[in-house]
Structure 1
Amino acid sequence: MHKVTSLPADDSQCGWYHTSAVRTPRPGHEGVRTARWAIIGAGLTGLAAARRLAERFPNDEIVLIEAQEVGFGPSGRNAGFAIDLPHDIGADDYIGDITTARTVLDLNLVGQQYLKQTVEAHGIDCHLRASGKYQAAVEDSGVAVLDAYRRGLDKLGQAYEVVDGEVLASHIGTRFYRKALFTPGTMLVQPSAMVKGLADTLPANVTLYEHTPITGVDYGDKVTLHHARGQIVADTLLLTNNAFAMHFGFLRGRMLPIFTYGSLTRPLTLQEQAALGGKDFWGLIPAHPFGTTLRRTHDNRILVRNSFSYNADGQPRERCLRRFVKRHRTSFERRFPMLKEVPFDYTWGGSLAMSRNHESQFGQLAPNVYGALCCNGLGITRGTATGKLLADWLAGERNPVIDFLLASPGPNANPPALLLDIGVNLNLAWTQFTAGQEC
């Protein structure tokens, strides 16, 4: 039996989780259960895979297994941007090869459309809005990034609007930024509310088990999943648990569990809303990839997200929360001096699965084992799309987007662990420093 040596254990202070509707978790598994399909990880990828398998195989039993509670893990801890556009930070114009960029756009739209269709069909209350996003710059280097990206969007034939000066301030209520590109295709969402709603509207042939951490696996003609209260035996296993797949014996030393950190204020009073001004719902990402992400939410809170750490075991670090909330406070007060007395209600961390070559893993991992892993920070759209498309592929479908995913070489190998731990955290610290005022 392969022993699973690290399990999810996120901190308790995720603002999205606590400000979304309370739900009753599904009971954990007990005893012995058999099923045609088992999926580990009930985040956005796993939920999409389970829903689509149920649609494609309506007579099959599908088991979806979550170590924690749905909406509590990484899928409920991101900034809530469902982004349509490609953004290749390794290319001069952030678009790169135009054929690849068009396929990536198609892939992201698969995820967006499947989410939108599901949310609307089931009336999921998650404040999903096609609000677009601002990508904003403070320094000359950030403005240069926006100019390069604008050229790339022209090449790709995608719409945008340049917004600057007082017009930008009238949109977002702060004069901190010099210039922004507004792109209309992004959807904004309350991520934990969406994940909870997706879980509670799964088809009848999907059984969700929460609080069921898998501690061991027997691989073979069938896959047997062991946990403290029993076993689940499946014909086919799908791994949709990102970096934790390494602890199940796959892609070892090829993914990087990177944590990023967010803080959410209390709701603004009417007086504070008037002092801020601007639109009542918007999202902003930084020109520098390690800068600060902002949102004004449906309930008039402000989200600040920045700072990163590499935690090799996939576990959060309390010391990082204590350190980075100070950075959040500084970033918030620089941008919103009129709100400097507004406190944070919540500060939390959440993990991303990254690879050094920015490639994901899609397809077969071993006999009877498949995976959709490593979204490289694009979990809402990319995770949803790859979960859906993995189910479509297992049902025999082929199309250019599936072929594109299958052709990926996957995440490349990392350096030895000692070098990696030091090197990644030093690199993260340096890149955050180079973000300057964007942070």
Structure 2
Amino acid sequence: MDLSYWELKNWFTTIDYTIVGSGIVGLHAALRLREKFPESKILVLEKGILPQGASTKNAGFACFGSLSEIIDDLKSHSEEEMVNLVQKRWKGLQLLRKRLGDDTIDYKPYGGYELFLNTDENSYGECAGKLPLINEILRPLFKADVFAKEVDRFRFGGIQEYLIFNPFEAQIDTGNMMQALLKQAINVNILILNQQTVTSYLDKENTVEVALGDFSFVTKKLFFATNGFANALTNGAVKPARAQVLITEPIKNLDIKGTFHLDRGYYYFRNIGDRILVGGGRNLDFVTETTTEFGQTEIVQKKLEQLLKEVILPNQEFEIAHRWSGIMGIGNSKNPIVSQVSENVFCGVRLGGMGVAIGSLVGTELADLV
């Protein structure tokens, strides 16, 4: 870096708080720090042109877990842990809506649906059987039944007769959400620098030296909000998980509205206006999809197209308009990691594919560690 006196003075001198990652978590942490410390100097570093990872690449599901996903969580988490996870996701969604406003993020409470292929008889039977129990467990939180069986009115192909409906689920516009968060941050004098990769850091008891390649600066506190890229930081407690997504061209007379789940959340789709977005499929090849590299694979893309052709839009013409991918952060537990790494270094990571829901809460909790 060939920096001027002015650049060093305004951007890299007397920094109180530095946040690595300008996604949902990072910006919520920055905004929370600004609320707590109005006179502080806050710097956000982002390695991409736009927030990398999943914050600007997700499907825009305002959800807290499909029925099959919640049942699957109970196999590796206690009932109390599962309820706490759902509660955090729900609380996070309300925080996001309160901060940005429903109109800004294009919040549409169409509800969410889970469908089961004809070949998924075991999962379908398990979900139908345990639906009353899960409703009973979640009723204290939502004051109503969360899940109900509904006859398929969307004319999907090759699925079981009933869908599982969740009236508390909605969809948002991911791009609008992130633009609004960035605007809020800039409006309260939070400095954001893009295409800056932190290569190392050194906690010196009272300050932290942060290296950006061969250039370094000093900050009082350092926060990592890097989710799927936090493997080394967390000693392997966070693994990257790539999610591949595609979207169709506009479809005439499309009669599908809502957010939809398949196979414990491994596949998902929704309408965006008169287009269909569909994503998922990392369960087809976990090894290849455990990566921080963006991109698509033939096996996943073919499966997504097959779902479109045979299940979502049977007997209907469509064209693929665009494909992309995002990087999530997962681990053996779905509980996020919000912790102190060293004296002046903190992290808020491992969102478990629920960043839209839980990111605002994790960011707030991260800032509150100080």
Give TM-score scaled by structure 1 length: 0.72
* 1:294 and 2:274 correspond: no
Q: For residue 63 of structure 2, what is the aligned residue in structure 1?
A: 83
Q: For residue 343 of structure 1, what is the aligned residue in structure 2?
A: 319
- 1:137 is paired with a residue whose SS is coil
Do 2:63 and 2:169's aligned partners in 1 also have CA atoms closer than 8 Å? yes
Q: For residue 368 of structure 1, what is the aligned residue in structure 2?
A: 344
Q: For residue 199 of structure 2, what is the aligned residue in structure 1?
A: 215
2:363 corresponds to which of 387, 406, 409: 387
Do 1:33 and 1:231's aligned partners in 2 also have CA atoms closer than 8 Å? no
The change in CA–CA distance for 1:160 and 1:353 in structure 2 (over 3 A counts) is same
The change in CA–CA distance for 1:30 and 1:225 in structure 2 (over 3 A counts) is farther
2:18 corresponds to which of 13, 20, 38: 38
User: 1:376: Cα distance to partner?
Assistant: 1.3
Percent identity of paired positions between Structure 1 and Structure 2: 19
Taking the TM superposition and a 5 Å limit, the aligned residue runs for 1:205-354 are: 205-220=189-204, 221-228=206-213, 230-247=215-232, 250-268=233-251, 272-273=252-253, 276-278=254-256, 281-290=257-266, 292-297=267-272, 299-308=273-282, 309-310=286-287, 314-316=292-294, 318=295, 320-335=296-311, 336-339=313-316, 341-354=317-330
Q: For residue 168 of structure 2, what is the aligned residue in structure 1?
A: 185
For residues 14-60 of structure 1, give each alpha carbon's deviation from its aligned partner in whole angstroms, at most 9, with x where no partner exists: xxxxxxxxxxxxx9x99733311010011111111111111121111
* 1:135 and 2:110 correspond: no
Partners in 2 of 1:233 and 1:382 — Cα distance? 30
Partners in 2 of 1:211 and 1:229 — Cα distance? 15
User: 1:313: Cα distance to partner?
Assistant: 5.3
Do 2:46 and 2:52's aligned partners in 1 also have CA atoms closer than 8 Å? no
Do 2:131 and 2:147's aligned partners in 1 also have CA atoms closer than 8 Å? no
Do 2:108 and 2:172's aligned partners in 1 also have CA atoms closer than 8 Å? yes
User: 1:143: Cα distance to partner?
Assistant: 1.3
Matched to 1:264, the amino acid is I
For residues 359-411 of structure 1, give each alpha carbon's deviation from its aligned partner in whole angstroms, at most 9, with x where no partner exists: 431121111001111111111112221111222342xxxxxxxxxxxxxxxxx
Unaligned runs of 5+ in 1: 1-26, 395-439
- 1:243 is paired with a residue whose SS is helix
Unaligned runs of 5+ in 2: 1-6
The change in CA–CA distance for 1:277 and 1:244 in structure 2 (over 3 A counts) is closer
Matched to 2:250, the amino acid is P
Partners in 2 of 1:205 and 1:327 — Cα distance? 45
User: 1:348: Cα distance to partner?
Assistant: 1.5
User: 1:110: Cα distance to partner?
Assistant: 2.4
2:188 corresponds to which of 201, 204, 207: 204
1:162 corresponds to which of 136, 141, 148: 148
Matched to 1:153, the amino acid is N
Do 1:131 and 1:282's aligned partners in 2 also have CA atoms closer than 8 Å? yes
For residues 143-174 of structure 1, give each alpha carbon's deviation from its aligned partner in whole angstroms, at most 9, with x where no partner exists: 12422244212232142353443xx22xx352
Do 1:136 and 1:181's aligned partners in 2 also have CA atoms closer than 8 Å? yes
Matched to 1:130, the amino acid is P
Q: For residue 92 of structure 2, what is the aligned residue in structure 1?
A: 111
Partners in 2 of 1:111 and 1:380 — Cα distance? 8
The change in CA–CA distance for 1:343 and 1:134 in structure 2 (over 3 A counts) is same
The change in CA–CA distance for 1:120 and 1:200 in structure 2 (over 3 A counts) is same
Do 1:32 and 1:230's aligned partners in 2 also have CA atoms closer than 8 Å? no
The change in CA–CA distance for 1:127 and 1:337 in structure 2 (over 3 A counts) is same
Do 1:110 and 1:385's aligned partners in 2 also have CA atoms closer than 8 Å? yes
User: 1:229: Cα distance to partner?
Assistant: 8.0
The change in CA–CA distance for 1:43 and 1:145 in structure 2 (over 3 A counts) is farther
User: 1:95: Cα distance to partner?
Assistant: 8.5
Partners in 2 of 1:219 and 1:328 — Cα distance? 45
The change in CA–CA distance for 1:228 and 1:155 in structure 2 (over 3 A counts) is closer
Do 2:170 and 2:258's aligned partners in 1 also have CA atoms closer than 8 Å? no
The change in CA–CA distance for 1:150 and 1:64 in structure 2 (over 3 A counts) is farther
Q: For residue 10 of structure 1, what is the aligned residue in structure 2?
A: none
Partners in 2 of 1:229 and 1:131 — Cα distance? 50
Partners in 1 of 2:290 and 2:65 — Cα distance? 30
Partners in 2 of 1:199 and 1:95 — Cα distance? 35
Count of aligned residue pairs for this structure pair: 346
Do 2:243 and 2:279's aligned partners in 1 also have CA atoms closer than 8 Å? yes
Partners in 2 of 1:226 and 1:45 — Cα distance? 22
User: 1:118: Cα distance to partner?
Assistant: 1.7
Matched to 1:306, the amino acid is G
1:120 corresponds to which of 101, 106, 118: 101
Do 1:58 and 1:205's aligned partners in 2 also have CA atoms closer than 8 Å? no
For residues 205-228 of structure 1, give each alpha carbon's deviation from its aligned partner in whole angstroms, at most 9, with x where no partner exists: 311111222223232231122225
Do 1:70 and 1:196's aligned partners in 2 also have CA atoms closer than 8 Å? no
Partners in 2 of 1:312 and 1:326 — Cα distance? 19
Measured on the aligned residues, the alpha-carbon RMSD in Å equals: 2.8
Give TM-score scaled by structure 2 length: 0.84
